[in-house]
């Protein structure tokens, strides 16, 4: 791994790395915040998956997570949202291609050679941060928007790999939303039966989640019709899934919303990972 930058933050270190990715077939960049407690031994890991158009940098600089992670002794990993590079397929639209990997393994061309973000997050990068950065093999996962979709679907599909789960304004029912149908058909094909494995509402209906679930959603979010939190809430109620889906009055879809509730989510994960 190549260190691109390193800064002290709240007694810990905020570092940005670059490495060649076997999963994505290109160089990938990610950021890790290690709290001051990491000096005394391995600390648990909170994964933060970002949304459409984002890189590793957006939440790292705008989310305000470092102060809370330092308080609770958690490392936070900020992956990129897609493969990058001149030979990586892209699209002129902001919601497809680079910056919009949707945390799936693409099976259709031209996306299939590089767009394998599911494997990258769950296998390659996970192994890298544990072995190279000496972090504990105890993991929570969260994310915002497309990243909230990624966090929910990845954790529900892999309950043995994650011990805590939350989301900020997730794309909750992508098989029934324009933020989902477009991307899932492009990456996975027109067989909608293959899409269900990447829809948190459908996955929760079928499998449930082993612990409590925390979801925050801005009530003034300009993308509510695309996110469909009511579908996830109805499934939580129907399955009697322990947890909370909180509609936060006046909040939109921005990082001001994420920053406002970052402390709650870090504390939520710390309580379940300690």
Place of tokens 């994310």: 143
Number of C-beta neighbours around residue 274 at 10 A:
11
Output the furthest CA–CA distance in the chain (Å, rounded): 51
Please state, in angstroms and rounded to a whole number, the distance separating the CA atoms of residues 58 and 11: 21
Cβ-contact 261, 250 below 8 angstroms: no
* Active centre residues (catalytic): 145, 221, 253
Q: Which two tokens stand for residue 87?
A: 């030979």
Residue 100 is classified by DSSP as B
Q: What are phi and psi of 187, to 5 degrees?
A: -85, -35
Phi-psi region of 73 (alpha: psi -120 to 50; beta: other; left: phi over 0): left
| Enclosing H/E stretch for 21 | strand 12-21
Q: How far apart are CA 39 and CA 184, in angstroms?
A: 42
> Going by C-beta distance under 8 Å and a sequence separation of 6 or more, which residues neighbour residue 262?
63, 64, 65, 68
The C-alpha atoms of residue 87 and residue 76 are separated, in whole angstroms, by 30
* Cα–Cα distance, 231 to 240 (Å, whole number): 14
Task: Give the integer Cα–Cα distance in Å for 163 and 149.
Answer: 17
Calpha distance 62→23 (Å, rounded): 28
């Amino acid at each position: 791994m190549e260190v691109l930058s390193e800064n002290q933050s709240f007694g810990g270190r905020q570092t940005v790395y670059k490495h060649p990715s076997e999963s994505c077939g290109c160089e990938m960049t990610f950021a890790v915040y290690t709290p001051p407690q990491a000096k005394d031994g391995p600390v648990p890991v909170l994964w933060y998956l970002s949304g459409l158009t984002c890189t590793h940098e957006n939440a790292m600089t705008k989310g305000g997570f470092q102060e809370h992670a330092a308080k609770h002794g958690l490392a936070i990993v900020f992956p990129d949202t897609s493969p990058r590079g001149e030979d990586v397929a892209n699209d002129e639209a902001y919601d497809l291609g680079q910056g919009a990997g949707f945390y799936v393994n693409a099976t259709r061309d031209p996306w299939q050679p590089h767009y394998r973000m599911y494997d990258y997050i769950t296998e390659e990068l996970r192994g890298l941060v544990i072995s190279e950065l000496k972090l504990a093999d105890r993991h929570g996962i969260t994310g915002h928007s497309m990243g909230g979709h990624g966090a929910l679907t990845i954790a529900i599909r892999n309950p043995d790999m994650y011990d805590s789960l939350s989301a900020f304004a997730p794309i909750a029912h992508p098989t029934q939303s324009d933020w989902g149908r477009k991307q899932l058909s492009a990456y996975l094909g027109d067989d909608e039966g293959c899409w269900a494995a990447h829809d948190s509402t459908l996955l929760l209906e079928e499998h449930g989640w082993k612990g409590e679930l925390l979801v925050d959603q801005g009530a003034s979010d300009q993308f509510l019709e695309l996110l469909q939190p009511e579908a996830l809430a109805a499934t939580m109620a129907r399955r009697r899934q322990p947890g909370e889906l909180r509609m936060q009055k006046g909040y939109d879809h921005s990082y001001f919303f994420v920053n406002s509730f970052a402390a709650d989510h870090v504390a939520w994960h710390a309580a379940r990972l300690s």
